[in-house]
Amino acid sequence: MDKLKDRRCKWCGIVYSYTESWQKNVRKISISLQVFLRDKQRRLIRSASRPRTAVATMPSWRIYLTLALAVGTAAAARLKVSGKDLTYNGQKVFLNGCNIAWHNYGYDFGNGGYDGTLEQWLREIGGSGGNSIRVWVHVEGYSTPRWDSNGYVTQCDQSGTFEADVKKLLDAAQAADVLVVLVLWNGAYLTNQAAVNLIWDDAKLDAYINNCLNSLVTQVKGHPALGAFEVVNEPEGSILVSSDSEPCYDTTTIGQSGAGWTGLYIPMERYRKDYFSSRDHTVSFLTPRFAVPPPGQFAQSDAFSNTHNHYTDECLNKAAGGSNAHLDFFQIHAYDWGDPGAQRAFTVDADAYGLGKPVVLGEYASVCGAGTSLPDLYSYAYEHGYSGGWSWHYVATGECSDTRQQQQEALKTLKDRSDHGLVSFPVG
């Protein structure tokens, strides 16, 4: 199982984020792993069960939808976007951290599964100079949320402890001066049909929003340690590769690089108009501000001949039916396998993508880094215009993961630096 789970991280991904002012009459949101605005919110799911390709000399990267949720009251410190930079409490910051991902895949929160291991790991990361972590929540939906016999969500978990468990993690993170990105779903490897049905069935999506998501967001909104929500990890794995007269929905370009490997065949338009938009609305209702990055497997940029940006402001507003939908920042996952290309994250500056917004390198490892050491990967991200970097992953299993000790030592590389963004800063 570890191999299957870790295949998801092999396809690099860029995460985009967008903020939107929502009015009180906007519809509720649905969340699934990456968010996009509209009457409902939508997000992309990406899965990585695709077989590994020949190792290239440069890291490959993919797109991810992450909903970076800058929450809190007007007076509270929170993660924000300023041009091409991320800021916290008014200062430019660099997110120096790790993917914890999970301790017990899909069973870390709710139903008695929360045992404090994640808290211990985040303290180790914070003690090594890390200031942020990326943690998976529902994953494939086998433990949470709670489904009835017809596939409708009735609550977050059977025991009623899910939301409190997430809050415990955030409290521990604040004490350790660490920001948390919560990844709701895993599109890189999605085998639970109940979770897939959230994308296809509006009523089931609404049930998830009303009976779980709203409750979660209400209880964690305003928490200083909540950096972002990522609706779905690597959504491009589950899309339908097809041509479309509307460029925003045409996926043939990314299909040539391997998108759609899970065989779920979900049209891009369906993701955007239904799944992603609904979830975004819910979060925006309950928080003063939120940033939404789409995590996925492919470069969402029009700067290269073999990539296409499906998440421009124009595309988002077409799906949202409004004029203020936009991404706040992007996230890229970078490994040394896959199709070679000029867009490889560790061979270009962040500005090469031409996105005009912050770009975070959301997954990478030296063992799949074309012979580059982990400290050098962190330093490259810091010195070449990226707004953060998270190694894969602290549970330290699978083919593309460095050991915990290696990750701890690499985090120390940037611990005391501030020349390209503050790394050490108080959370709260």
Of 66, 68, 21, the C-alpha closest to 45 is 66
Q: Is 314 among the catalytic positions?
A: no
* Tokens, residue 353: 């993508």
Task: Label residue 334 left, alpha or beta by phi (over 0 means left) and psi (-120 to 50 means alpha).
Answer: beta
3-state helix, strand, coil in the chain (%, to 5): 30, 20, 50
Look at the alpha carbons of 135, 140, 143, 144 in this order and tell me if their dihedral is positive or negative. positive
Residue tagged active-site, from 363, 383, 399, 409: 363
Q: Can you spell out the DSSP letters for 322-348?
A: SS------EEEEEEEES---TT-GGGS
DSSP H helical segments within 189-275, as ranges? Answer: 193-200, 202-208, 214-220, 252-255, 268-270
Are 162 and 153 within 8 A, CB to CB? no
Residue tagged active-site, from 163, 234, 236, 269: 234
DSSP assigned state of 244? -
* Tokens, residue 360: 């975070």
Which long-range contacts does 218-221 make (Cβ < 8 Å, 24+ apart)? 218/286, 219/163, 219/164, 219/166, 219/167, 220/71, 220/163, 220/166, 220/167, 220/170, 221/71, 221/72, 221/286, 221/287
Of 366, 62, 357, 359, the C-alpha closest to 233 is 62
Of 194, 181, 172, the C-alpha closest to 232 is 181
Q: How far is 394 from 97, CA to CA, in rounded Å?
A: 10
Look at the alpha carbons of 275, 7, 162, 97 in this order and tell me if their dihedral is positive or negative. negative
Q: Is 163 among the catalytic positions?
A: no
Q: How far is 353 from 334, CA to CA, in rounded Å?
A: 14
Q: How many CB atoms lie within 10 A of CB 24?
A: 5
Q: How far apart are the first and last CA of the chain?
A: 38
Query: In Å, what is the CA distance from 380 to each residue of 97, 295, 346, 377?
Result: 14, 21, 7, 5
**Positions marked active-site:** 234, 363
